A and B are shown apart, each in its own frame.
Chain A
């Protein structure tokens, strides 16, 4: 046989290593920091309470990123576009919320029912504002380019991101602005085994979980959700089936924007500062989260958001906040290189 004389394509052990890395490499990379710091804590302090505190703070941070990341993932799932302006939509959500606190007269002294009602009202308003803004961006900047080369809308997205940053800059100036600490976000709510749960943590989780559940249910059950999934699978087939693709895409941007608006409110309450530039970094962090989870996959975006929140908190707490963006971006590059399909990503396009 002639075939027998041909050398093998690749030695088997090398192939096994490759396969292992492509399946578990990302998980190993993600575990590196927590494990290293965990060992360090055990040696210096004897317990893991610091790491556990990082984890908790990371989760509440991460729930904000998760909400923003869902917006990326939904939009990418349906139009295959990195909505670069999404971070700015989140920033505008924060600004609207922060502005509205004053309008309806919420102060640090407002308590109980008044506060809850006020915040709910603000939540709705921030969500609406961001949702409408996102839909408008789609209408103006992406829809005319739907048949253009794929990078054309990405460039307009970058352009819109700058425009919105400037809107933010004019609105609230160039420096970080502190806003009233309505929920006393750093106040400890309760403490379990040395892990301190603050008001801010509780708020982040209490807003995020219902929203995510509501939205997954919406996409799974509602007619519009089904239309979204169909359009994500195959826009032409969906159109033939009588689905209004334009409306569906608008709805997707609306939902993505609303979640970003909610994230903006949480961020404002949790960090008690807002800044016109907050959207840029947040956007990239959330995009990293979406890619990490597997772009197009909602559960993946939530998972990615929580993980990236944790990584970010570890870096903030142990390495220095000024390095955090660089570290997150390094993760982004590594994911893109080694596993662009992400943790939960399937190779196919899908929104649900």
Chain B
């Protein structure tokens, strides 16, 4: 078996420049099928930029991205979504004036066929499709734990936690094979983060999903991921198993600054 059949997503030498600034520099990266991997790094490290490249929102200056063996470099975002890559956003981007269930129905856009005339004349197959999609949306909302009482509320009126849930449901409803989560635990307390961690594992087990996670909360990262990649100033500075990455001096330095890193190292040496 060639390696790309085991990896659901591969990025090779991805670089993104904005004017003179290099936001992502020569990052290669792979997500093994069915795994949960994390992308970490300090603020401004280029994690979200990298996400946006993977989902087609940005065109990389250099490099290639392949999803299950298919080249998706600079593909249109909607097409990449249709192939099976779904995402959430760091600062929740729901369609505020649509209801929760409508939001999730939009997530299934790529799985629907009704066009202009189908929408106007609404033949039986379109009716059937609408019903199916609505039922699926409701089911997905239940799955992520949204009470059925609020399915018809406008997204803006939902609580923060529910908005996060709807966003995940919206991504899930498209039946993706790879789910990209951009800081899903932002603004959550320890207990909520904990349950989200379990939820991610459940997702993987229930749907055979692969998950890529951008995360700041180290407990979540360490608890859930099989593989961690660290970006700093747009460059990959470390990758590997969570424990190994955590003790990598370069990573400590990126997070804590040089002085602090040296102090810690000295302490450790002293202890030995």
A residues adjacent to B (C-beta < 8 A)? 1-3, 6-7, 9, 347
Contacts and interface: CB of A to CB of B under 8 A. Distances in A.
A2 B67 CA distance: 12
A347 B19 CA distance: 9
Contact of A2 (B2, B59, B74): B2
Contact of A9 (B2, B13, B73): B73
The list of the 7 closest CB pairs from A to B, nearest first, reads A3-B12, A6-B71, A6-B64, A2-B4, A3-B64, A9-B74, A9-B73
Contacts of B64: 3, 6, 9
Most A C-beta atoms less than 10 A away, residue of B2, B12, B59, B64: B64
Contacts of A1: 12
Contact of A3 (B13, B19, B74): B13
A7 B10 CA distance: 15
Interface in B197-226: none
23 contacts: A1-B12, A2-B2, A2-B3, A2-B4, A2-B10, A2-B12, A2-B66, A3-B10, A3-B12, A3-B13, A3-B64, A3-B66, A6-B12, A6-B64, A6-B66, A6-B71, A6-B73, A7-B71, A9-B59, A9-B64, A9-B73, A9-B74, A347-B19
Interface string B57-88: 00100001010000101100000000000000
Nearest to B2: A2
A46 B6 CA distance: 74
A9 B12 CA distance: 13
B110 to A, nearest CB: 22
Contacts of B71: 6-7
Interface string B70-112: 0101100000000000000000000000000000000000000
Interface residues on B, range: 10 to 19
Nearest to B71: A6
Contacts, number: 23
Interface in B115-139: none
A3 B28 CA distance: 10
Interface string B13-33: 100000100000000000000
A179 B71 CA distance: 69
Contacts of B13: 3
Most B C-beta atoms less than 10 A away, residue of A7, A9, A347: A9
A299 B12 CA distance: 43
Nearest to B69: A2
Contacts of A7: 71
Interface in B138-192: none
Contacts of A6: 12, 64, 66, 71, 73
Nearest to B18: A347
Contacts of A2: 2-4, 10, 12, 66
Interface in B226-266: none
Contacts of B73: 6, 9
Nearest to B70: A6
Most B C-beta atoms less than 10 A away, residue of A1, A3, A7, A347: A3
A253 B74 CA distance: 42
A140 to B, nearest CB: 28
A71 B195 CA distance: 56
Contacts of A9: 59, 64, 73-74
A220 to B, nearest CB: 24
B11 to A, nearest CB: 9
Nearest to B59: A9
A178 to B, nearest CB: 52
A3 B4 CA distance: 10
Nearest to B4: A2
A14 B19 CA distance: 20
A224 to B, nearest CB: 30
B6 to A, nearest CB: 11
A2 B4 CA distance: 7
A243 B264 CA distance: 44
Given A3-B10, A6-B66, A9-B59, 12 more contacts: A1-B12, A2-B4, A2-B12, A2-B66, A3-B12, A3-B13, A3-B64, A6-B64, A6-B71, A6-B73, A9-B64, A9-B73
B96 to A, nearest CB: 12
B23 to A, nearest CB: 14
Contacts of B2: 2
B237 to A, nearest CB: 21
A3 B74 CA distance: 14
Contacts of A3: 10, 12-13, 64, 66
A7 B19 CA distance: 25
Nearest to A3: B12
Contacts of B3: 2
B70 to A, nearest CB: 9
A150 to B, nearest CB: 16
A1 B4 CA distance: 10
B45 to A, nearest CB: 22
A1 B2 CA distance: 10
A142 B71 CA distance: 48
A3 to B, nearest CB: 4
Nearest to B73: A9
A7 B74 CA distance: 12
A19 to B, nearest CB: 12
